[in-house]
Amino acid sequence: MKVLGRYRLVRVLGSGAFATVWLAEDPDLEAGVALKVLADNWSTNADVRERFLAEARLLRRVDDPRVVRVFDVGVSEDDRPYFVMEYVPGGTLADRMDALTTREALAYGAQAARALHVLHEAGVVHRDVKPSNLLVDDRTDPPRLVVSDLGSAKVLAEASGLTVTTGTPLYMAPEQAHQTDGFDARADVYAVAAVTYHLLAGRPAFSDATAAAVLVRRPDSRPAPLAASLGQPASMDHLLGRALSWNPDKRPATAADLAAELERLLSEEPSPRTHREVPTVAVLVVCLVLFLAVFTGTYLWLTP
């Protein structure tokens, strides 16, 4: 395809099992847009079509700059539905998560929590919060984080009659993985905390990325502490430990509460080092130990 409706397709931005997202040009507005089109093999499935269009309607209804906006819907010549969204030019958070400072990681975590709270206020649980579903608008200073991809949102799945487990194991709350009845917005609170931990540490909170790891994880599992290595107060580990609790009742009650606590950490002027850097003092100690070892060995070898 080169054209859908009035939109000229430029290149693929991303694809999944159900749909592909294209960068496209709107010739009438002379602007770039993101166009999401349902995969051909799902186009005849009435439930999936309804779920796809419900996502567009929901995005259109949630009118907030922290949630990607929908401008138009249509159907291709080969009978595939599509919808047109704002194009966020900075890529996804997954594209830049390996080079963040501690402060940037905390700020992005707080922004993600604020954005999820907007959805929760609209009665929606995202259910698939992950770095690749968080867009970064680098036209603003600081960059604006935008939530996208509501195809797995709780209300959409219920409306379409689909009951499959959905989400990404690295960031999935235990109650969601176990398909516990009545799980709520605190599953997204867990996911945002898991994303924030990954941004800070450069590794997931829990190492095994398989779905089985989520299902068998012990209720008393806790992520490895980070605060000391990042020059942060111990309250950071306490916050992440609570937010990643097996028990939803022990997590911050809302995504807004999690955001406020992350912002409080930001106000304490965290260290600017990246999570990949080794603290300078540690480097000096290692060098000193090596020097002393070499010096002592040489002295003993030369001494009669």
Active site amino acids: 128
Q: Write out the H or E segment, with its range, that includes residue 295.
A: helix 280-302
Token pair listed for 48: 């999936």
Structural tokens at position 286: 């290692």
**Angle ∠(220,222,226) on CA atoms, nearest 5:** 165
CB-based contact 94:148 (threshold 8 Å)? no
Give the span between the Cα atoms of 227 and 265, in whole angstroms.
11
Q: Is residue 45 classed as helix, strand or coil in its secondary structure? A: coil
Please tell me the distance from the alpha carbon of residue 189 to that of residue 177, in angstroms, as a whole number: 15
- Give dist(CA 21, CA 38) in Å, integer: 9
* DSSP string for residues in 104-132: HHHHHHHHHHHHHHHHHHTT---S---GG
Q: What are the angstrom distances between the C-alpha of 152 and each of 41, 97, 134, 156, 179?
A: 18, 23, 14, 7, 14
Cα separation, 105 vs 270, in Å, equals 11
**Which ranges in 62-185 belong to alpha helices (H)?**
102-121, 154-160, 174-177
Angle at 169 between CA 227 and CA 39, to 5 degrees: 130
Cβ 186 vs Cβ 176: under 8 Å: no
CA–CA separation, 273 and 87 (whole Å): 31
